Amino acid sequence: MSTPGPAGRPATPPVAPAAELLVARMRGHARRLVWSALLLVVVAGAVGYLLGNLPAPFQDWMLLAAGGALVLLGAVVPLVVWLTRTYTITTRRVIVTHGLLARDRRELSHARGYAIRLRRGLGQRMWGAGTITLSDGVSAPLVLRDVPDAGLVHEVLADQVEMSQIQAHRDSQGFSFGHRLPAPPT
């Protein structure tokens, strides 16, 4: 059912408050894991080549332990750290979560408005990544490190801030899309 609009305007449908929608969910760029993957390949190759070729049998165990420690510290730990940090952009806010055992979550509302700073080093430019810093001037800046497609994410964040501020302005002016506005005085 639509309500009749002001004189000379078409009827407007009733509008419910907009639900929070997921715009994007991402992790830091996977280029951070290149060295970990190379280390894994080198350690696997070296252990495979040296296993059984060492003079004493206890050295095979030492070789396996050293290879396992290198893989654990150089490949598994960076992968777990990369998997536990996520960046979520919705139509209302930006959410950064990280941590394995104790999850840390920070949010920044688009409606408050914030400054967006994009920094891209040489390696980040080659891969299309960048570091985005969001600062509202009140709390500590929210840093999205090594975001893939950083230029696109920057544009999306700027659009979301603009749309949220337009909506907040409409709400503050008392615009009600579900009811008839009073007729202008004649």
Distance between CA 21 and CA 164 in Å, rounded? 13
pLDDT at 6: 56
Mean pLDDT of successive 10-residue segments in the chain (186 residues)? 54 60 92 94 94 79 93 96 94 92 91 91 91 92 93 94 83 60 60
CATH node for 22-172: 2.30.29
Q: How many Å separate Cα 22 from the centre of its chain?
A: 11
pLDDT at 18: 66
pLDDT at 134: 95
Assessment of whether the complete model's pTM goes beyond 0.85: no
pLDDT at 168: 76
Block residue for tokens 């749309």: 163
Distance between CA 26 and CA 147 in Å, rounded? 8
pLDDT at 69: 97
